Amino acid sequence: MKPISPVLEGYQQHEVVFAKTQKEYMPLPALVLEGDERPVVSRWKLDDDERTRIARGADILLTQWIFTDKYHPIQMEVSE
């Protein structure tokens, strides 16, 4: 599963890339929306194997590392 751009068609100019220069993380293109909660939206592309596993009932797992940064790195994956 890979994050992809554009997150939303037509909004590319508003995208930010988290971890752009951090080699230990996958760069994450995202839209940071306005409002008190400041939601961050990203879009993910599944490969054929992941799609097949989900179709067979696999769950999607979301892993989030909790550091002291404002935005925490995340990883999404399809369970076995």
Count: domains in the chain = 1
In this prediction the pTM is: 0.75
- State the maximum Cα–Cα separation within the chain, in Å, rounded to a whole number: 39
Whole-number CA gyration radius for the chain:
14
Cα four-point dihedral sign 39, 1, 3, 25: positive
What pLDDT, on the 0 to 100 scale, is given for residue 72?
67
Which residue segment(s) compose the domain that 33 sits in? 2-78
Dist. CA 80–CA 59, nearest whole Å: 8
Dist. CA 62–CA 48, nearest whole Å: 19
pLDDT in tens, the chain (80 residues): 999 999 989 999 999 999 999 999 889 999 998 888 888 889 999 999 999 999 999 998 887 777 766 666 677 777 66
